[in-house]
Amino acid sequence: MNVKIPNEGLTIQNVKGIGEETALQMNQMGIYTVLDLLEYLPYRFEDYRLRDLEEVAHDERVTVEGKVHSEPSLMYFGRKKSRLTVRLLVGRYLIQAVFFNQPYLKKKINLHDTVTVTGKWDKNRQVITVQHFTGGPHNKDGDFEPVYSLKGNIKNQTLRKFIKKAFDDYHEIITENLPGVLLEKYKLMSRSDALYQMHFPASPADMKQARRRFVYEEFLLFQLKMQALRKFEREHSNGTAQHYDVEKIKVFTDSLPFPLTGAQKRVVNEISADMKSPFRMNRLLQGDVGSGKTVVAAIALFSSVTAGYQGALMVPTEILAEQHADSMSELLTPAGLSVALLTSSVKGKRRRLLLEKLKEGEIDILIGTHALIQEDVEFKSLGLVVTDEQHRFGVNQRRVLREKGESPDVLFMTATPIPRTLAITVFGEMDVSIIDEMPAGRKEIETYWTKADTLPRVLGFMDKELDQGRQAYVICPLIEESDKLDVQNAIDVYNQLLVYFEGRYKVGLMHGRLHPDEKEEVMRRFSSNDIQVLVSTTVVEVGVNVPNATFMLIYDAERFGLSQLHQLRGRVGRGENQSYCILLAEPKTEVGKERMKIMTETNDGFVLSEKDLELRGPGDFFGKKQSGLPEFKVADMVHDYRALEVARDDASALINSKDFWEDPQWGQLRLFLSESGVMKGEKLD
């Protein structure tokens, strides 16, 4: 026993006091070796620092030291329930400390003793309901106590004792994985010191410094993997260097009916650089609804054609395909390009002819649904693939489309603003371009939040809009986990509105249980103003463009996430006329109220998505199932976002420097990478 072998395979039974039984319980917690134990970090800290009651808010948890000023009085109620009350003199305050169900403390607390108690402070009644009692004066050493996640019979204090022992006897097995230059650059603690301070913080400030080190370490290691994967994919992708014609592109952009916004120019340059490079582009283009992604895609597609290639644009629904085909033709046909639409409704001879032309290279740009990825669709030379609303396509569909050309560049577009933090992590291996500026002169959608009992007035407002020839969406209650109930709700509202608008306006109904053909039909009728009011569940298509719709009413808005509300709201505000969005909501919580309020305050999708992430946490942002977010032990993607950015930039610079692959000082990090498998192009977990 107790032979000190600097070996990370050392089992925990080598720590004094840990026997077989304890070892088994620790195994349950994922702790097998001494190093596992040393690296088993607390998930939070209990703050036992003394505070002046003057500064403590009502209901806050507080620790105070006081002198016992009365004999404790014990009262029983029920069989096992009791209440012990004692007066304490805390500074200038004479307060009451109340202990529930701890009758044995009566003997331990004596008049004139000095005791320390922690609990909830009732400011009005001047009472502390004690949660934690220390018989004696306040002990500064225990000011700040790490709290671990535990299993079995192991107690927090026991675990700490073992960790202390492990530190005493084996701290030299902790090795540094960050090179000195980085530690110095960011003034980070050594790994060994940081571990010690996480378990036995000398002060909150020391704990913070320790935590800062681990946040950086976790992010850096994660980003190194991402950046290495990205480099690997680029270099093994055999993309095509597209030698586009800069002069022609300039003439084309000058011919557009409006100047590009600064953000549009920037992303066009980012995309162009990728297309020109021999690596294959794998880029995500993010831009809020209406930020002008279509023009950017058009310029990219045009560039590809000037380089002698064809382009494809894939969208998730037929309606969107038709809309895109229209707007792309409008932009590209005058410039001499031939644009074609391929959906499942293009059949028979027309389809055969189209495919022939495509194969001959007579079609420059093909736009369509997943009909584009059927086997018999052959391009002459596909150079660029753009997909819109990328989250609607599966990974496989994107891959099939990509494999249609030699190695076409790929641009994914999405209108779902993803907070930068998440974009860095989820799409870490992709390049991300962001359009964060709206074209000038856009009318902001006016959003109001009101309660359900104002519905008659809201309907009056809607009437006025309809009377001016406009159209309206009515989005129906969302009932979680129950598609059936959602549909029923939509049907109920639909029936009410049928009666309300009878003989004046036509009302349509849209929900997830309709056949795809029926959905298309309803949308088509709404598009052509054959229907004026569309009652819908949230299935109302992302990206659908009916500029004449200026009014949206959302029932039970408190049940939607901010990002979803923003997406829904984006169906209006697409034309010249002022648009309105009314949120009917009665949120019960402060967070819920906050969400409604912020909807009325901003139209900026990125601001909303950041806020959403803050309020909901990363796991919930994408929905649990598809989140695929990495888990960090210490770091928090939302709050440590700045560190994430720094780590990302550092990782990127390192991976792309020659020095990193040669200099011995980066040896540990290189080892980490080769062990993680990314250098062989293996999938990340």
Q: Give contact residues for ligand ADP (rule: CB under 6 A).
A: 258, 260-261, 264, 287, 289-295, 415, 439
Report in angstroms how near the CB of residue 293 gets to ligand ADP at its nearest: 3
Q: Which residues are CB-neighbours of 543 under 8 A, at least 6 positions away?
A: 315, 320, 323, 388, 389, 415
Instruction: Using the Cα atoms of residue 274, residue 375, residue 330 and residue 308 in order, give the sign of their dihedral.
Output: positive
Kindly state the smallest distance separating residue 631's Cβ from ligand ADP, in Å.
33
Closest of 191, 209, 190, 202 to residue 146, by C-alpha: 202
Task: Quote the least distance from Cβ 291 to ligand ADP, whole Å.
Answer: 4
Q: How far is the CB of 327 from ligand ADP (least distance, A)?
A: 7
Nearest approach in angstroms of CB 567 to ligand ADP is 11
Kindly report the backbone phi and psi dihedral angles of residue 159, in degrees, each rounded to the nearest multiple of 5, phi listed first. -60, -45
Partners of residue 507 on adjacent β-strands: 533
384 token code pair: 């660029």
- State the nearest-atom distance from the C-beta of 432 to ligand ADP, in Å: 15
CA distance 533 to 472: 5
Residue 315 CB, nearest approach to ligand ADP (Å): 11
Extended strands (E) in 443-595: 446-450, 471-475, 507-510, 533-536, 549-554, 580-584
Classify the C-alpha dihedral 415-419-425-431 as positive or negative.
positive
Query: Contact, 16 vs 169, CB < 8 A?
Result: yes
HEC assignment per residue over 373-431: HCCCCCCCCEEEEEEECHHHCCHHHHHHHHCCCCCCEEEEEECCCCCHHHHHHHCCCCE
Two structure tokens written together for 561: 């996430």
Given the complex with ligand ADP, which of 260 and 346 has the nearer CB atom?
260
At closest approach, how far in Å is the CB of 341 from ligand ADP? 17
Separation between Cα atoms, residue 603 and residue 566, nearest integer Å: 8
Strands 549-554 and 580-584: parallel
Closest to ligand ADP by CB, 43 vs 258, is: 258
Nearest-approach distance from CB 595 to ligand ADP, in angstroms: 23
Residue closer to ligand ADP by CB (options 490, 540) is 540
For ligand ADP, which is the closer residue by CB, 417 or 630?
A: 417
Taking the least distance from each CB to ligand ADP, the nearer of 178 and 284 is 284
| Smallest separation (angstroms) from ligand ADP to the CB of 439 | 3
Q: Got the DSSP string for 329-379?
A: HHHHGGGT--EEEE-TT--HHHHHHHHHHHHHT--SEEEESGGGGSTT---
Question: Nearest Cα to 293, choosing from 605, 526, 523, 607?
Answer: 605
Q: Token pair for residue 510? A: 């849209």
Q: Which is nearer to ligand ADP, 38 or 365 (CB)?
A: 365
Q: How far is CA 257 from CA 188, 335, 651, in A?
A: 53, 13, 42
Under a CB-based contact definition with an 8 Å cutoff, are residues 650 and 220 in contact? yes
| Smallest distance, ligand ADP to C-beta of residue 324, A | 9
- Please name the helix (run of DSSP H) or strand (run of DSSP E) that holds residue 223, with its range, or none: helix 204-235
β-strand partners of 536: 475, 510
Of 294 and 527, the one with the shorter C-beta distance to ligand ADP is: 294
Distance in Å, CB of 579 to ligand ADP, minimum = 14
**What angle do the packed helices 516-527 and 318-332 form, to 10 degrees?**
50
What is the secondary structure of 88-113 as a DSSP string? EEETTEEEEEEEES-TTHHHH--TT-
Rounded CA-CA distance 611/591 in Å is 11
For ligand ADP, which is the closer residue by CB, 261 or 676? 261
Q: Which lies closer to ligand ADP via its Cβ, residue 135 or residue 262?
A: 262
- In angstroms, give the least distance from the CB of 260 to ligand ADP: 5
**Beta carbon of residue 442, minimum distance to ligand ADP (angstroms, whole number):** 8
User: 498 or 607, CB closer to ligand ADP?
Assistant: 607
Dist. CA 7–CA 487, nearest whole Å = 61
Q: Please give the radius of gyration of the chain, using alpha carbons only, rounded to the nearest integer.
A: 32
Q: Which is nearer to ligand ADP, 543 or 587 (CB)?
A: 543
- Indicate the residue among 295 and 385 with the shorter CB distance to ligand ADP: 295
Residue 418: CB minimum distance to ligand ADP, A: 15
Residue with Cβ nearer ligand ADP (63 or 433): 433
Q: Where are the beta strands (DSSP E) in 481-607?
A: 507-510, 533-536, 549-554, 580-584
Q: Which is nearer to ligand ADP, 411 or 655 (CB)?
A: 411
Q: Residue 119 or 287: which CB sits closer to ligand ADP?
A: 287
Tokens 């690997």: give the residue.
Answer: 232
Q: How many CA atoms lie within 13 A of 593 on its CB side?
A: 3
Strand partners, 471: 549
